[in-house]
Chains A and B, each alone.
Chain A
Amino acid sequence: MARFLLARLVALVFILLALTLAVFIIDAAVPTDPVAANLGAGASQALIQATRHALGYDQPVYVQYVRFLGRVLHGDLGTSLRTHNPVAADLAQFAPATLELALASVILISVLALLLGLWSASGAPGATAIRFALVSLASAPTFFFAIVLIFVFYSWLGVLPASGRTTAGSATGFVMTRDLWTGNFAGWLDGLRHVLLPAVVIALGPAVAIGRVLRGSLVDAMTQDHIKTARSKGISEWAVLLRHGLRNALTPVLAMAGLQLGLVLTGVIVVETVFAWPGLGLYASEALVNSDFPAVIGVTLVLGGVYVVINAAVDVLQVLADPRLKDQR
């Protein structure tokens, strides 16, 4: 196992390096001159040349990449053209909101997918209707679904807020986590009411996708011979399903979960814009509109890195779930 983990770790480093290279190439290929843009239209040619030299833009490309890598490793992602703050500081400010939203979504995805998978695999009454309803909802485009939810729950029923993280106003930082930590139950509930709609919008698609894979592989797992052995031992059918069926159904589910979490990251950008959620998505969409390339690069690196790490974690989880895979990868 240790050797497997080490191998995965080495691979992870290489993938992350490839990610920085990809980001660097995109950055270099953008037709805007970052120096000219930084200095403004009135800057003299001599000043541009001097700044170019000072910032190292006259160096060969590979030297520039190594320097870029060095800066990234030191947490220096440049300065945002829009906020004029260091991008790293901006990211640190906006990331907690996204993290909390993503966490809420992941919890919702897990619960929904598990319910959907177990319910429809068990063939209990109503399973087909639930599956039909969820698949239909998940087929709608994210922004459309978000707008419908806002219309129903905010404009029409008036039970849930439609924007921001708290009633007090947009807040950055770990709002809900802090409330939970300090026992501010009313505040936490307020946060929960705010996070509910965007989390549902993000979670529904992945939950249905994962739930369907879970159902298929669970039905498959429950027809295997060892299920017969388990039943012959006189343990309850729930124990058979959870202990013997679910564990053996996990491999494709984890693979699907890894892919879907990538979609969650992209979904965050749309959903945060619609719900005015002060996170990385909102920051990124504003950066994009304003050609704030350092900010875009920073968000890309962070989200890309998270995606790579999640999928490496999926690899490890798959081996934990099914140790036979260890020798195959």
Chain B
Amino acid sequence: MSTGDAVRPPVAEIRDLRVSFPSPKGRVQSLRSVSLNIMPGEIVALVGESGSGKSVLGQSILGLAAWLPGVEITGSVQVAGVDMLGGDERRRRWVQRHLLGAVFQDPLTSLNPTTRIGRQLTERGITLQQALANLHDAGVPQPALRARQFPYELSGGLRQRTSIAMALGTAPIVSGADGDGIPAAGGQVGTGGAPQLIIADEPTTALDVSVQAQIVLLFDRLRREHGCAVLFVTHDLGVAASIADRIVVLYAGRICEVGPARDVLARSSHWYTRALLAARISVDTPATAPIRAIPGTPPNPASLPLGCAFQPRCVNAQDHCQEALPDPMPRPTKDGPGFVACFYPEPLLTAVTPAAAYDLLEVAAAMDPPAVRPGTALELISVTKRFTIGTGRFGIGTRVVHAVSEVSLAIESGGALALVGESGCGKTTTLRIACGLVTPTSGSVRWGADAGRPQLVFQDAGSSLTPWMTVGALIEEQLARRGVVHKERTAGMLELLARVGLDARAASARARNLSGGQRQRAAIARALAAQPRLLICDEPVSALDASLAIRILELLQTLRRDFGVALMVVTHDLGVARRVAERIAVMYRGQIVEEGPVEMLFTAPMHPYTEGLLAAIPTTEPGRLAPKLAGEPPSPIGTVQGCAFTPRCPYARPRCTSEAPVLRDLGGVRRSACHFAEELGAKP
């Protein structure tokens, strides 16, 4: 921020905003006295876990909060001097049309599925020509073609770029022509063609890590070129670190701390921020390094404590914290003004520094790797799966999808393998083949000799648990299937619940009464009831907040050690993969392109795709914009000549387009499908 900006009035001014709405468990206090200014041209990251109220804050600025059912709002939100909560609806719409842009999490559902993209882009009264220019600006190739298409015809990354192009397409301000609600004096009138403020609500969460890096870079460029401010709502401190000028940390509807990104990340003042940073599953953290999980669970927003909401989980909490709510106080910063809402930001206990105080937090997941036993738990031998899509009537227009091609994998008894790759790479189909849900077109699947079917744990445990059955009944059903006699089932069920860290009360609960972390534990308990030799987990923690995710990964490790169960974890998150597995297999367009021990792949990747994936992951280093892996995840339809990764490969040579590489054994411990794997491995 230059000094010239400081004298300009803020784009958005939020004062003492309080938002609540009803829920079955009581009134949810979503925002509790939040005050914040967003200055012209700055990128503010709003960081918080689910339920922290971060999305509600974004919607309040957009003037959409009134649409939440049963909502009660007090305080004020002004954009360019116009009240976005109440007051004149026409003036609010004027601001929405001319000054604000919105980008939401899921580009699949946030675009109208039945309307052509061009019509959606021009809805605020811009010309088609301008809309095409915006598409081009947002990095959408062939804008004229895209404008005639429907959202479903585009890939996820292109859809999100389209959403951003739509956010850019604010109506130009022509003085006099739009006299129905010119904002009050004090509000500035933009240059037209670009919004003054874009609210981006988790815009990269639904995207692959490579596409996420591209979108983050895009926001950074748009800010520089158009001078628009961005409120970037995210749960990921890494994403926040890479792009934000300022970071706002939200917990239970209140701001914990706010300040320049560098200060918040490198010199955090609030214990929640410190705990979040310590609990972050980073791709740089070796599997054996200790991670300090945040003790306890996030608060129930329907029954918040009287005092500081983080107090029950805080290592530095004092009696006073239970009784009073801390207000934001100025905090020492280097790069600009900042505030922290904590009575005791300095460590008070035996620890002298905040860093040492982390050691008082529980140490999680820093255990010895579980023993691998002789024998194999799973073996995939040259597994291939093809299917045809298209209308198929009279065989016209069908196309072949090569979902999985010649995949060979083995997991030792008690071992753990992570299968990583972007969406559409075939990892889910491989998972389904591995557990026998899908029959491969060719190749074979072998499970361990004495083992039954592998058990599955899904990403969304909530929808994988039968809604009308209690958790206890679900587990007992599984026990009965295994032949456990009736009178032993309850005891067995309670023991399983205890093993996954749930108390006996969970037995009589249904899935909807449990939190996300508890559901995932219940799903794991049900899977364990079958005494599997192999547990297959599909994105087991991607729906969970960071502080809960680490606990689930810890649980999976414990189960391996105690039950000798092998793990196959399918994930797009390389940090999770590094934490949970000994070996990693990287998939690209239906094929394994690299496979080997975790630490080898992370420290010296021998396939350019692995290298690109690793580089695309955001770290909490401030201002480090992740280098982008060019292009989009490929379509699995049809066949390609040569190496499928060539179009995105920075090292591609003529041989790559003519000759398809095979997965080669390298030194007996790892495999790579790159012609030039050795050269890549020899890089410093």
Residues of A within 8 A of B (CB): 3-4, 7, 224-226, 228-236, 243-244, 247-248, 321-324, 326-327, 329
Contact = CB atoms under 8 A, between A and B. Distances in A.
A324 B96 contact: no
B184 interface: no
Of A225, A235, A247, most B-chain CB atoms within 10 Å: A225
Given A7-B394, A235-B124, 5 more contacts: A229-B166, A233-B97, A236-B93, A243-B123, A248-B112
Interface in B82-125: 92-98, 100, 102, 104, 106, 109-115, 123-124
B391 A324 contact: no
Contact of B391 (A7, A229, A244): A7
Nearest to B111: A226
Given A4-B391, A321-B114, A233 B124 contact: yes
Interface string B486-515: 000000000000000000000000000000
Contact of B97 (A3, A224, A234): A234
Contact of A228 (B64, B113, B396): B64
B468 interface: no
B109 A224 contact: yes
Contacts of B199: 232
Nearest to A226: B112
B152 A324 contact: yes
B150 A225 contact: no
Nearest to B181: A234
15 contacts: A225-B110, A226-B109, A226-B112, A230-B112, A231-B64, A231-B67, A231-B96, A232-B62, A233-B123, A234-B94, A243-B123, A247-B112, A248-B114, A324-B114, A324-B152
A320 to B, nearest CB: 9
B93 A324 contact: no
Contacts of B25: none
A235 B95 CA distance: 11
A317 B75 CA distance: 48
Contact of A225 (B97, B109, B114, B393): B109
A238 to B, nearest CB: 12
Given A225-B110, A232-B96, A329 B104 contact: no
A126 B128 CA distance: 42
Nearest to A244: B112
Contacts of B394: 7
A323 B64 CA distance: 29
Interface in B110-150: 110-115, 123-124, 150
Contacts of B62: 232
B390 interface: yes
Size category of the B interface is 35 or more
B24 interface: no
B93 A234 contact: yes
A19 to B, nearest CB: 21
B113 A229 contact: no
Interface in B266-290: none
A224 B389 CA distance: 28
A231 B389 CA distance: 36
B150 A324 contact: yes
Interface string B357-400: 00000000000000000000000000000000111011011000
B64 A324 contact: no
A6 to B, nearest CB: 9
B112 A234 contact: no
Contact of A235 (B93, B152, B166): B93
Contacts, number: 87
B178 to A, nearest CB: 11
Nearest to B169: A233
B100 A226 contact: no
B82 to A, nearest CB: 11
A232 B95 contact: no
B114 A229 contact: no
A327 B96 contact: no
A232 B109 contact: no
B150 A234 contact: no
A323 B124 CA distance: 24
B272 to A, nearest CB: 29
Contacts of B100: 232, 234
Contacts of A321: 114
Nearest to A239: B123
Nearest to B153: A323
Nearest to A327: B391
Q: Which 10 A-B pairs have the closest CB atoms?
A: A234-B96, A234-B97, A232-B102, A225-B109, A234-B93, A226-B112, A225-B110, A7-B393, A229-B110, A232-B62
B396 A3 contact: yes
Interface in B394-408: 394, 396-397
Contacts of B67: 228, 231
Nearest to A236: B93
Nearest to B92: A234
B110 A228 contact: yes
Nearest to B397: A3
Contacts of A232: 62-64, 96, 100, 102, 199
Interface in B288-310: none
Given A232-B62, A244-B112, A322-B113, A327 B390 contact: yes
Interface string B653-680: 0000000000000000000000000000
A233 B96 contact: yes
Contacts of A234: 92-98, 100, 124
Contact of A229 (B63, B97, B98, B104): B104
A188 B391 CA distance: 48
Nearest to A237: B89
Contacts of B150: 323-324
A235 B171 CA distance: 11
A234 B396 CA distance: 44
B113 A248 contact: yes
Contacts of A327: 389-391
Nearest to A222: B67
A228 B63 CA distance: 10
Nearest to A235: B123
Contacts of B163: 229
